[in-house]
Structure 1
Amino acid sequence: MGPSRRAFPLAEERPRRGPARWVARGLVLALVALVGLGAWLGGRTLFHSVLGPRCQATAAGSSVDFDPEQMSNAATITAIALRRGLPARAATIALATAIQESKLRNIRYGDRDSVGLFQQRPSQGWGTVEQILDPEYTTNKFYDALVKVDGWETGTITVVAQKVQRSAYPEAYADHEQEGRILASSLAGHSPRGVGCRLDAPEGEADVALIGRLLDAEYKLKASGGAGGTLTVSAPSDQIAWSVASWSVAKAVDTGITGVTIGDRSWSRSRDSSAWEWQQAETPAAAQEVVLHLA
């Protein structure tokens, strides 16, 4: 009878795993760490997009969301169109263009020497870098060029915007026309109660001087008061009053405004979901007047 066969080798006879075993474990741990990091980053992004400071514009049953910086720039573009007596179509074209060119951010970089909301180029005669980075200046320059385009009021946005911008990708402007329409309608006052912003508490007191400068530059309107913690803006029409009210909400991130009252409606600065909507005002404002709360 031959030698017996062992079902299992003795410990000292088991094959040695060597360093490959530790390499495999290291790879598994690294993979777990990467998955965990991805989940954390994803959760953080979700937190900021869902619960962080955010603005929303609503018109005709449709809504678009932007962060406060973007909504503030959209308010400037829309207000200047109204100041110039241009129809909502002008603001729609300008907003769709700015969304495509800069995502409504006043950026200091771009293709070649392009800068600003509309990515205008100093070398193409739009102005100096400093001028183009001024939102009021660059918006007015856009409208100066827009109104010179034959048939801009009824032409397709790809054709009209291309004649103003001379872009390499003109078809891209049409992708943002719906967003532009919603922003223009709500910020121009055609869709009352259409703008809400959920914001952090201001870091300091409201900047009364800045509010006055922006109202003058973007609407050619003035505010009165200030001593009692409020400013009052008188508008020439109900539509302009609602535009100023929406603009004030959009500009709150820059100015420190804590509340806005128009008619029997009021917006109060908050991180709560209530800041998406206009509530019943405790003290209504007079007709065609907008009351800005500073504290």
Structure 2
Amino acid sequence: MSDNTPRLLTVAVTSRALFDLEESHRLFEGEGVEAYSAYQRAHEDDVLTPGIAFSVVRKLLALNIGTPPDTPRVEVILLSRNSADTGLRIFNSIQHHGLDIVRAVFTSGEPTWPYIRPFSADLFLSANPESVRRSLEHGIAAATILPAQAHQQRHEHQLRIAFDGDAVIFSDESERISREQGVEAFSQHERARAREPLSGGPFKGFLSALHELQQVFPADERSPIRTALVTARSAPAHERVIRTLREWGVRLDEALFLGGRHKGPFLDAFGADIFFDDSQHNIDSAVLHVAAGHVPHGVANPER
């Protein structure tokens, strides 16, 4: 497969996000690399169970069904801080689960995020908050993924992704006004600028790539992808959002303007496979129902 094969969507995922590696990760943190390496070699024929991102990855790769092998619609790249030697268990598990993942980077303990850009990844999913933060600093859409505490998957053959608006799809310019000057100042600001498009946030590029991929499929219930905007905004702040998406030429299938209501039950009703939000408060509500990706960006996430 050549390096210049055109791709509509590329997602990078870490091994800890793809598989449940928490037991061996605790061993690494408690006893060090030697004990960890010995454990992985001893268990390299034991299949790893799915992790937080497994369902999303499986549904993404299913979008390639019916395409020629050399021109897939989606590629998933594996990034791992394992060595190639200890990573053998991960590749064995990928093959066991039938995941079409062929490109990988094993860094033997070094950070993986520097390799995201050379792969031209549209999205990075990781269980490591520091890697996510560094990726965002370098202009890459990234999220720290957290498991749902209770979730029943209802859409086996459709990938459902939900996004927060401000500081995720859009910049945090309006959210800053809300936090610094209050809700009334925010409402006045948005009414005055209703016809002025919002600037893009860290997930604008990923949303655009996802929208481009959606165009391959029918724009109805037969589509294997469905998206939703789930935002704390309400009227009259809705207009600027709608006009911005129209200006960008981007489709979102559903838009929920919740006016500050807890997002979790609405995400459950939508049946999200994953939800991306910058606010830890909203993430805490979301994970009671669905898997969520925290985007540590903008005014809600000051530098630590």
TM-score by length of 1: 0.25
Instruction: Identify, as 1 or 2, the structure richer in helix.
Output: 1
Larger Rg: 1
